[in-house]
A and B are shown apart, each in its own frame.
Chain A
């Protein structure tokens, strides 16, 4: 990895799919199938990438250093033969910044009375 630390804000705004992938990996390591399921569930079925499309996104995130291949966890929750992904520190910070950005947008919307629900 390069020693020069990339600026997380340079990745914003994230594409819809990328952000969903980062969210799916937020609290655990996942293999592709599980990420796909998570994305589909979280988006209420609006976002349902094909295997090819999902891995396309994973590859880009991997190249950008936001996610990385991860060994299977030692406990029984994972299967050692499968290929897992997890967030990198950079990925975590980018996800946080994106959430922050969206949050600010929602706050603006609320200030202009465009949106009245709670988050």
Chain B
């Protein structure tokens, strides 16, 4: 807390005139921080808070003095001379002091109002700090607005985007892209660092030297990859991330020129990137050159591409320019003809920020809107408190007016109080926001980009200041407009009235209606999210996630140059793991479910060539080691599973998923069919389908399963992804993570330089897959809960107040023969009518607003009648319960007492 308070103090210091700041700014900041540190040590949190509040007020008073009273004595530019200003400021300071004194006399009112406003402002500040860091702030690259991601659509094979880049296209765009400054290609890999110390497996990028020019971030030490750097022949150069340099090499300033072993190959360190450089991802620890020569082959769509637009060129212009040139691609790469003619690819340039931020942007805006509503409810509650307060003080105000207080003076009276309250509330809110943002960054849910950039900074403080002013005005002005206009009457009857006027009640009813309506909208929003979450939790992932440990083993290709050797190692390891106590079944796969497409190709059937110009649907490819299906309990639907003999004898057997059968051979038997991922294989390379297994979710839970083909570790065509990087899946009889040490020992008996990477359970994988929905649901539910609570409190407050004002009227009614039931019903009817009106308005608002969240929902429509009905019921019940307490009190009024009090 102390650093934040000091930072805010420094920011506020800027309000002083520059000359003052130059002379005394440093000293003041230093004195403030010394005092704060001392106070935190000796006076505890209360003393600390008191000191902070006092110091801030002192600073602001000083600013007022410097800016206005002691301003350099220039001739007055307008009719208000320095003397007038001096008086105004003095009056203002005096009024603030008096307002604080008045508020301190009603601690109940003051603390409820401050906490309510604090919650509202805190929630808004916290969410805005996310919006600001993730969506609004440019990416941390120079000229970030000119960076684009290159990908392709291919309507010929049904792809609307997401097809990445090939080596050939990289060369082609570099030559032909006259509207692009520079183009870069990269691949994401993982490498094992094996120098002194424990071997670790780290995410890395192999990037063309041009990536440095595209991003334009200078290294912290040394240099970036150069054109003449190569990665071949068992040696190379490497650029380290700031994090790796610090954690593994102790921020050694002499790191440049040092040789480190990566996948058993010596690499020379030539540079270290700055700490905020996070490309392609925050996790990337190494950058190794990727060399793509001018005479490259066309290659597969396995590269990622980024480019920098020429200054003043839009992404769409550059995209149109490249697309116009694509037809000449086969002149340079003859084997790319089918890519143009059949797949009909077209290039897409996506602003880099859209790509990095992704679909969370919409979620964040919705959340910001939501907490905006919460603030609105909080403000109406406080406005209502002010109304009550204003009424209690009607007599005081009437006296003031009678003694000559002007309209303006009375407005100032209310506004000063509301300003003081909101400033206190926003200080509390700022503290809450700071704490919750810290908590969120610490929790660090994956799938939320740029989370490490989130913090409370200048724009966030400005935002808080803006909503603080808005809130102060909203609930400061309402009571002013509502002020009594009948001074004479108020003075005459000494503040006593038989019943309050109609106008006062209708203002209150309007507040109740607003609160209920806003709460309705929020509850519907969070209700829809809860239902989506529920459906998502109930999606069958296709496997049994309980008690399965998974981890990656990556074999360096220097030590395991071919598939046979890699497969032999993996099989040997599997045999050892199966014998571990606590392991029921062990298997391995090249890419786990829920992690995405990983790799894919169109599948061709022997003897059934597709029509010319048609490319069959793309299927995802997996390499599996025996035991995978048993360990994950993916069910066998027909035929048999792959076993050890399939890769040892190279049987060319494959297993496919039910979805693939449905797509290729609906209503037919797939067993025995011969297939190949690509057209025209050698005759002995065709694969035979020997089994059909159940579907698994490949990407997002909400996307549904993709067609899959599972290859053995080794076969004649070796079409499966290479078995060098495999994810092991161990079904265990003990808690999975307890086995990690035993597993690591087994791995190290075989090869002591192999680290275990990505150790986790399948259950963790599933909860990660739904984390964004969980996150949104959680925040919306909290917001809606707070809205419901504040709404209920608001309704209770209003009805209680109305009942207390109508005591004598109720007494008369009872005296004239009304039963307790009649009185209860009368009060409930009043509350119920307002609530019903609020719900009706809320339904209309929700129908209009929940459309915006369509993309966040899963399995439920934005106008889901069940959710709407349930929420309306909850809301009406809550309001009626809130009315019931004052209704009972009203029914218990003793007519004699009530009339005597008059």
A contacts, CB < 8 Å to B: 31-33, 36, 49-56, 58-60, 62, 69, 82-83
Contacts and interface: CB of A to CB of B under 8 A. Distances in A.
Given A50-B54, A59-B23, A83 B59 contact: no
B34 A52 contact: no
A33 B24 CA distance: 12
B145 interface: no
Interface string B706-743: 00000000000000000000000000000000000000
B35 A53 contact: no
Given A33-B35, A59-B20, A59-B23, A53 B58 contact: yes
B559 interface: no
18 contacts: A32-B28, A33-B31, A33-B34, A36-B31, A49-B58, A50-B54, A52-B60, A52-B63, A53-B61, A53-B62, A54-B31, A56-B65, A58-B24, A59-B20, A69-B23, A82-B27, A83-B24, A83-B27
B496 to A, nearest CB: 45
Nearest to A58: B24
A82 B35 CA distance: 15
A104 to B, nearest CB: 31
A52 B30 contact: no
Given A52-B59, A52-B60, A59-B23, 6 more contacts: A32-B27, A50-B55, A50-B57, A53-B62, A58-B24, A59-B20
Interface residues of B, number: 23
A55 B30 contact: no
Given A33-B34, A33-B35, A36-B35, A52 B27 contact: no
Given A32-B30, A33-B30, A82-B30, A55 B24 contact: yes
A56 B28 CA distance: 10
A52 B66 CA distance: 11
Contacts of A52: 28, 55, 58-63
B260 to A, nearest CB: 40
A55 B26 CA distance: 11
Contact of A51 (B23, B59, B66): B59
Contacts of A60: 70
A55 B35 contact: no
Interface in B6-61: 20, 23-24, 26-28, 30-32, 34-35, 54-55, 57-61
A69 B26 CA distance: 13
Given A36-B35, A50-B55, A55 B61 contact: no
A31 B30 contact: yes
Contact of A55 (B34, B54, B57, B62): B62
B26 A83 contact: yes
A82 B55 CA distance: 20
Contacts of B57: 50
A51 B65 contact: no
B20 A51 contact: no
A56 to B, nearest CB: 5
Contacts of A69: 23
A17 to B, nearest CB: 13
A53 B24 CA distance: 12
B27 A62 contact: no
B9 to A, nearest CB: 8
Contacts of B27: 31-32, 55, 82-83
A49 B30 CA distance: 15
Contact of A83 (B30, B60, B61, B63): B30
A74 to B, nearest CB: 20
A33 B31 CA distance: 5
B30 A50 contact: no
Interface residue SS majority, chain B: helix
A36 B30 CA distance: 12
Contacts of A62: 23
Contacts of B23: 59, 62, 69
Most chain A CB atoms below 10 A, which of B23, B27, B62: B27
Contacts of A31: 27, 30-31
Contacts of A56: 62, 65-66
Interface in B387-443: none
A83 B66 CA distance: 20
Contacts of B32: 51
Nearest to B33: A33
B378 to A, nearest CB: 30
B31 A51 contact: yes
Q: Which 7 A-B pairs have the closest CB atoms?
A: A50-B58, A52-B62, A52-B58, A83-B27, A32-B31, A52-B59, A33-B31
A53 B57 CA distance: 10
Interface in B165-186: none
A49 B57 CA distance: 12
Contacts of A51: 28, 31-32, 35, 55, 58-59
Interface string B637-652: 0000000000000000
Most chain B CB atoms below 10 A, which of A32, A52, A56: A52
Most chain B CB atoms below 10 A, which of A51, A53, A82: A51
B627 to A, nearest CB: 66
A83 B29 CA distance: 11
Most chain A CB atoms below 10 A, which of B32, B58, B61: B58
Most chain B CB atoms below 10 A, which of A55, A69, A83: A55
A30 B66 CA distance: 24
A49 B65 CA distance: 15
Contacts of A33: 30-31, 34-35
Nearest to A62: B23
Contacts of B28: 32, 51-52, 55
A37 to B, nearest CB: 9
A53 B32 CA distance: 12
A60 B65 CA distance: 12
A54 B26 CA distance: 14
A33 B61 CA distance: 19
Nearest to B60: A52
Nearest to A36: B31
Contacts of B70: 60
Nearest to A63: B70
Contacts of B62: 52-53, 55-56
B549 to A, nearest CB: 55
A22 B32 CA distance: 21
A68 to B, nearest CB: 11
A49 B70 CA distance: 19
A59 B54 CA distance: 20
A60 B24 CA distance: 12
A47 to B, nearest CB: 13
A13 B488 CA distance: 50
Contacts of A83: 24, 26-27, 30
A88 B59 CA distance: 27
A53 to B, nearest CB: 5
Most chain A CB atoms below 10 A, which of B23, B24, B57, B65: B24
B606 to A, nearest CB: 81
A49 B26 CA distance: 18
A50 B28 CA distance: 10
B22 to A, nearest CB: 11
Interface string B54-91: 11011111110110001000000000000000000000
Contacts of A54: 31
A44 B716 CA distance: 93
A59 B24 contact: yes
Contacts of B24: 55, 58-59, 83
Contacts of A49: 58
A55 B58 CA distance: 10
Nearest to B64: A52
B97 to A, nearest CB: 14
A27 B61 CA distance: 31
A33 B60 CA distance: 19
A59 B62 CA distance: 11
Interface in B452-493: none
Contacts of B60: 52
A34 to B, nearest CB: 9
A32 B30 CA distance: 8
A62 B23 CA distance: 10
